[in-house]
Amino acid sequence: MSDFNPNIVRNVTPAGVADMSVDVGLRRFMLGVYNKLALGLVVSAALSFLTGSVPAVQVLLFRLTPDGQIQGYTPLGWVVSLAPLGILLMSGFLARNITPRTASLIYWSIVALIGASMGSLLFLYTGVSIFSTFLVTASAFGVLSLIGYTTKKDLTGIGSFLIMGVWGLFIASIVNIWMHSAAIAYIVSGLGVLIFSGLIAYDTQNMKLRYYALSGDEAAMSVATSYGALNLYLDFINLFRFLLMFLGARR
């Protein structure tokens, strides 16, 4: 088992000292993270298309009106939608002694479940606007991740503030389920775009510094690749969903 801790202190190697441009091992490690992230996005896209387009699968997860409008989730749909949060909470208890295989299983389970639940977006937005928003998100992600990858500024303080902001977004979103306020929804979405944009840069730098902290432990590095891909995947998906509020064309 690897002794990997996803909450490891980040300042083992200062951001200004860790120079990835001359470290082939770091570039290989980050490429592994990005490759896993890219494949995860492909899997999620395929599953969302399946659950949002195939009638036999739609009825398993979504409650639909006779004219095909979505009303909510079925009991199975709620399980699929909420399961990623449960897996994330449980993985926190396993983090100290997690194996590469378990870390990979956690990543792919969350990717598959989120992808399946995102089929609901096909009922709410046009396919063209979903695709165009995905391209905008991918472009923004590339720029923001490059900033985190190359900057010598330590983003620790900013990252801690942004993580607190995520909890604020979560609480505001829960409250708005009962309030049904369009104004609050747009404010939350605007803040979500800003917060997850910052987290993309923060988590990218975090991966760079974690590479140096692990000191060549191959098992821990494998686990870190899965956790790094998971963090960036969640950043990407949340940025995409918040951007849809502004860029998506409603059906």
What's the rounded Cα separation, in Å, for the pair 139 and 215?
A: 32
What's the whole-model pTM score? 0.87
Which residue is listed with tokens 């980050």? Answer: 30
In the chain, what percentage of residues exceed pLDDT 90?
59
Q: What integer is the mean pLDDT of 31-51?
A: 96
Backbone dihedral region of 8: left (phi > 0), alpha (psi from -120 to 50 degrees) or beta? beta
Q: Which residue has the higher pLDDT, 197 or 69?
A: 197
Percent with pLDDT over 70 in the chain: 90
What is the residue-wise DSSP string for the chain?
-----TT--STTS-TTT--GGG-HHHHHHHHHHHHHHHHHHHHHHHHHHHHHH-HHHHHHHEEE-TTS-EEEE-HHHHHHHHHHHHHHHHHHHHGGG--HHHHHHHHHHHHHHHHHHGGGHHHHB-HHHHHHHHHHHHHHHHHHHHHHHH--S--HHHHHHHHHHHHHHHHHHHHHHHH--HHHHHHHHHHHHHHHHHHHHHHHHHHHHHHHHHTT-HHHHHHHHHHHHHHHHHHHHHHHHHHHHHHPPB-
Q: 85-94: per-residue pLDDT in tens?
A: 999 888 877 7
Whole-number pLDDT of residue 14 = 47
| Amino acid 160: pLDDT | 85
> Residue 180: what pLDDT?
78
Instruction: Count the alpha carbons within 13 Å of 57 in the hemisphere toward its beta carbon.
Output: 14
180 phi-psi bin (left φ>0, alpha ψ -120 to 50, beta other): left
| Average pLDDT for 221-247 | 94
Confidence band, pLDDT 50/70/90 cuts, at residue 2: very low
pLDDT at 4: 36
- Are 155 and 202 in contact by the 8 Å Cβ rule? The answer is yes
Show the tokens assigned to 47.
């599953």
Of the listed ranges 44-53, 86-95, 193-202, the least confidently predicted one is 86-95
For 33-42, 215-224, 233-242, which range has the lowest pLDDT when averaged over its residues? 215-224
Whether pLDDT at 11 is above 50 = no
